[in-house]
Amino acid sequence: MAKNNQSFKLQRTLNKLAIHNLMLYIVGGIAAVFLIGMALYMTKGIDIIEYITFNRSMILDGQVWRVLTFLFKPEDSSVFMVLTLYLYWLMGSTLEQEWGAVKFNLFYFCGAALTIASGFITGGAVNHFLNMSLFFAFAILNPEFQLMLFFVLPVKIKWLAIADAVYFAYMFVVSGWDIRGCIIACALTLLIFFGGDIIESIKRAKRRAEWKRNFR
């Protein structure tokens, strides 16, 4: 009984400390940077992106804000960014509903910490693969979820996840170590949170294969 009470108190404390609606803040921050950046570029010719990207040498020279500001760097400058941010919000908020704020915070901040660590090792980092870890997590938990590709073609998210995994593999081969480090950080985050499920799925598939061989 005492252990249950302690566990409940710890869970309640962590829930208070967790950032609820975290993805709303992340998406809102990216949108704000995009709008501010566009205004500064049009009025003063200042490219704000140059001041927020992750750059190890500049961070070590004192521009420490870059350790976090790169997380809010817009990935696209076109109208498709609106759709991208909507999907990030949809998937992030759904994961938070399924997991709870505490676990979702742990997932995102674990991925962010690994991405930052890879940035210090390789010299640079981007937020794209961190954000894509949300997509893969969502696809693992909701493989049959259907998206309207180009607003017309219905596609199950598991097939899009497979296509993105192939893209990740391609990027790992052709890119420098700064991008490879971010891909590894994304993969490690997914492995930490879904490794047990993946191993169990492999075991189940192996048992089914053995059962089929025994009854042929």
- Residue pLDDT, tens place only, 61-92: 999 999 999 999 997 666 678 888 888 999 99
Q: Is the pLDDT of residue 203 over 90?
A: no
pLDDT at residue 216 in the model: 60
**pLDDT per position as a tens digit, 112-131:** 999 999 999 999 999 999 99
**pLDDT per position as a tens digit, 153-191:** 788 888 889 999 999 999 999 999 999 999 999 999 999
Q: What is the mean pLDDT of residues 6-19?
A: 67
Handedness of CA 88, 89, 94, 95 (dihedral sign): positive
Sorted by sequence, the CB contacts under 8 Å of residue 137 that are 6+ apart come out as 91, 95, 107, 190, 193, 194
Sorted by sequence, the CB contacts under 8 Å of residue 77 that are 6+ apart come out as 34
pLDDT at residue 45 in the model: 87
Pairing of strands 153-156, 146-149: antiparallel
Name the residue among 145, 134, 86, 144 with its Cα closest to residue 110.
Answer: 134
Distances (CA, A) of 114 to 61, 64, 100, 101, 190: 22, 17, 22, 20, 11
